[in-house]
Amino acid sequence: DGHQCLTALREKVPDTTILVATGELLDKDLRRKLDRHADGFISKPYRMNELLESVRKLLDTCRTPR
């Protein structure tokens, strides 16, 4: 499942920047999990410009290791 994958990735490579693309509705529990383990998220379906904007934001804010 995506949450297990995200948690394992964060444990193995803690300094990597993670952008999650999800098709799920973001309830409070899922949002809390994403905030804890991911650096950003984008909801599917998304347009190319939305993806590029999300990646730009991450590149601008996540340039230093955690």
Is 10 within 8 Å of 49 (Cβ atoms)? no
pLDDT at 65 over 80: no
pLDDT attached to residue 58: 92
pLDDT attached to residue 2: 78
pLDDT attached to residue 64: 55
Cis peptide before 45 (omega within 30 of 0): yes
Report residue 9: phi and psi, to 5°: -60, -45
pLDDT (tens digit per residue) in 8-61: 998 999 888 999 888 877 777 777 877 788 898 898 999 999 999 999 999 998
